[in-house]
Amino acid sequence: MKQITIFLSHCLFAIAFFMSGASAQTTAQSFEINKISTKFVHVPVKTGAAKTWVTVNIDGVLQHEFEVELAPENPDFYATLEVGAWIGKKLTLTAEKVTPDSKWLTLTKTSNELSDEPLVYKEELRPQFHFAPRRGWTNDPNGLVFYKGTYHLFFQHNPYGTGWGNMTWGHAVSNDLLHWNEKADAVIPDKNGVVFSGSGVVDWNNTSGLQTKPLKDKNGKIANPPLVLFHTSTGADRGKGEASQSMNYSLDEGKTWINYPGNPVIPHLIGGNRDPKVFWYSDKSKDSNPKNGHWVMALYLDGQDYALFSSANLINWEKVCDIKNVGCSECPDMFELPVDGNKQNSRWVFWGGDGKYLIGSFNGKEFTKESGPFTTKYGGNDYAAQSYSDIPEADGRRIQFSWMAGGEYPKMPFNQQFTVPRNLTLRSTPEGIRLFMEPTKELEKLRISKEADFKTTLQGMESPVKVPALKGDLLDLEMVLDLKIPPTSDTTVVITAEIFGQKISYNLGNQKIDLGGVKAPLAPIKNQIKLRIITDRTSIELFANDGIVQISKCFVNKDKVPANMTISGNKGLAEVKIKSFQLKSVWKNLKK
């Protein structure tokens, strides 16, 4: 980064305010650049400092505003504002309330790099293979779309602090779902409000007409289709406005994003209507022409109610269906999956924010519930999951990320993380068709070596058995509990494992699995319980019986307890088999 000459202007008035019973005078101060020559401005942030609103003016026109804990000195980290779109123009950043002795003006920097802070991705509590933002807060994953070999991950982001606020869409890209290269924020607040959650699609047939210069490939298909994002705009006029649905698009493969001038595309309807999930529905009743179909939007309305909308062009939308009493709220997702891999026997899944889901059929307009609500995930730290659009048919997976809500990252310049990427499938069970959730195969590429292939017979609750050869805090464990007795036995079998101070137990008496107090029903299959346990520096994820049950939990290993996994259980009633893999960090060779 380099310091630049700044011009400090004071408002002609002072604003008095009281803090902790004492009076302190504040003024408005401005950071100015007469001609922008770099891509980024880096603003100093101090967690716990007094908040102030900062306005962003270009050539005297308001473009954006945000609230920030502006550092008067000794910043904890730098928040990044992209200004590259305005090269050559005048920038004025005005902080409304700062004390006269604040040094934020001299601390503010410019650069052509997103960051050059030496500790980026090297922080003590940085997840080593779970996505977390470079700086600031994150919550819901948004706009998950795959295009030309690249996974685009957008996310709810506060670029200016480690608490919720200033909702913006952060942006990162990857070619393997694990190694992420964070880009500049893609969608920022505008006159319609801050940017809440939503989805993304590729408009392969340019139904929107947004690509005004379409190019054709050798097969006659559009080679440069628009990438289109949908989000909820809410809180215009600093939180006083109503929620509506807006659109942004890219004509350069996601490098830059354009705010659709006709926003909102759906005005406020009811309550907190939000979180549009958009997908293409192919009309199978006509022919195999991919152009025979239409766009569908699933939208949360209010309470436990959702609705479906239809559009031919992504711009004009018509309500076609209500979906009521789903059993949850917010963040809908909707997708079709084959049952047991049979493409001739498929079902549609309608998913809500806390992981409740319905199974049914969909004819392009009406969703008809067949069963549910059910759940695959139970409690813990897991919310607002979303799945990818436009995964190639040859791949065929339904890949999902979820926010590990409620994690703690003390004194870190970032806050919150996502789960590992997960693959969703529908399978037949004795109780009916259910959704299963497992880590994607890409995670196995992080395995360094097989650290342990261990088998033991439990010798009683008083005699825990130590699992050998565990190293580090990045682990992928495959565990099989062979119960040796019929599930209907009156004998109570309790098996307990502990790793990094986190306890996992299974009780055959009530057929429940427990991770750190989060319990889920789990019946044995052929007298076995299969567990996949994945640990990172601040989290543990458990997938049971091939993913019929999933629990995600965040923790802070304050005492830096090593792995030291031990297992105990009723004597002679269970044999335990474990394969343990150490995982490598995705940040080791990162090029900033």
Q: Tell me the average pLDDT of the chain.
A: 90
Name the percent of the chain lying above pLDDT 70: 93
Position with higher pLDDT, 589 vs 339: 339
The pLDDT assigned to 23 comes to: 42
In degrees and rounded to multiples of 5, residue 105 shows phi and psi of -65, -45
Residue range 495-514: mean pLDDT, rounded: 88
- Which own/partner pairs from 558-565 qualify as long-range (CB within 8 Å, at least 24 positions apart)? 559/501, 561/500, 561/501, 562/470, 562/473, 562/500, 563/470, 563/471, 563/472, 563/473, 563/475, 563/499, 563/500, 563/535, 564/466, 564/470, 564/499, 565/466, 565/467, 565/470, 565/477, 565/497, 565/498, 565/499
> pLDDT category, 488, cuts 50, 70, 90?
low
pLDDT at 99 over 50: yes
pLDDT at 477 over 50: yes
pLDDT at 359 over 80: yes
Predicted local confidence at residue 452, as pLDDT: 77
What confidence tens digit (pLDDT) does each residue in 523-539 have?
999 989 999 999 999 99
The predicted structure's pLDDT at residue 491: 57
Residue 20's pLDDT is 40
Joined tokens for residue 15: 């604003």
What pLDDT, on a 0 to 100 scale, did the predictor assign at position 489? 55
Q: Are 82 and 98 in contact (CB under 8 A)?
A: no
Task: Give the separation between CA 318 and CA 294, rounded to whole angstroms.
Answer: 12
Which pLDDT value is given to residue 483?
87
Q: Is the pLDDT of residue 552 over 90?
A: yes
Cα–chain center distance at 527: 36
SS3 152: strand
Q: How much is the average pLDDT of 283-290?
A: 64
Sign of the C-alpha dihedral computed for residues 111, 145, 446 and 395 taken in this order? negative
Map out the domains of the chain with their CATH numbers: 15-111 (2.60.120), 136-439 (2.115.10.20), 446-583 (2.60.120.560)
In the set 59, 76, 140, 473, the catalytic residue is: 140
CB 472 within 8 A of CB 537: no
Adjacent-strand bridge partners of 475: 535, 582
Residue 206 has pLDDT above 60, yes or no: yes
What pLDDT, on a 0 to 100 scale, did the predictor assign at position 450?
A: 72
**Catalytic residue flag (residue 140):** yes
Q: How far apart are CA 312 and CA 290, in angstroms?
A: 13
Can you give the pLDDT at residue 215? 95
pLDDT at 281: 97
- Please say if the pLDDT value at position 495 is more than 50: yes
State mean pLDDT over 420-428.
Answer: 98
pLDDT bin (cut points 50, 70, 90) of residue 240 is confident
Closest CA to 343 of 396, 392, 293, 395: 396
Residue 17 pLDDT class (50, 70, 90 cuts):
very low
